[in-house]
């Protein structure tokens, strides 16, 4: 099942900053019922993409390391992630809070 725009936004924030600011991976799980391991893997994949792009991310998120040496992480949803991570933190934080309040 493809990640929704709301899930991508929350996962991107978690990769960049701190997932606990809006309730953690559990808050993302509560929105759609997606499994916690899948959510955590998505966040780690986003951290790997951010690394590849030279964008600082949450130091508590270990980038996905399942790629062979010399190969890049999967770029799933990168075009959407790129737009999200370009938002100022307060604006993105506000958007995440609104998403979580929708449930």
Helix (H, G, I), strand (E, B) or coil at 29: helix
Picking from 40, 51, 39, 101, the residue whose alpha carbon sits closest to that of residue 78 is 51
Give the model's pLDDT for residue 29: 94
User: CA torsion sign, 46 to 50 to 13 to 57?
Assistant: positive
Each residue of 15-38: pLDDT tens digit? 999 878 888 899 999 988 999 999
What whole-number distance in Å separates Cα of residue 17 and Cα of residue 87? 12
Give the model's pLDDT for residue 76: 84
Give the model's pLDDT for residue 72: 66
How far is residue 50 from each of residues 47, 75, 86, measured CA to CA in Å?
5, 10, 11
Each residue of 31-70: pLDDT tens digit? 889 999 999 999 999 999 998 899 999 999 988 866 666 6
- Spell out the domain ranges in the chain: 5-101
Q: What is the pTM of this model?
A: 0.89
What whole-number distance in Å separates Cα of residue 7 and Cα of residue 77? 11
**Residues 74/45, Cβ–Cβ less than 8 Å:** yes
């Amino acid at each position: 099942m493809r990640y929704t725009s709301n899930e991508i936004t929350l996962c991107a924030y978690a990769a960049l900053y701190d997932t606990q600011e809006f309730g953690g991976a559990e808050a993302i799980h509560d929105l759609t019922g997606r499994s916690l391991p899948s959510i955590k893997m998505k966040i780690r994949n986003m951290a790997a993409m951010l690394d590849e792009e030279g964008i600082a991310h949450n130091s508590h998120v270990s980038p996905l390391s399942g790629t062979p040496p010399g190969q890049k992480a999967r770029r799933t949803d990168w075009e959407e992630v790129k737009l999200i991570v370009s938002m100022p933190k307060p604006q993105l934080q506000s958007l995440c809070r609104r998403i979580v309040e929708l449930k």
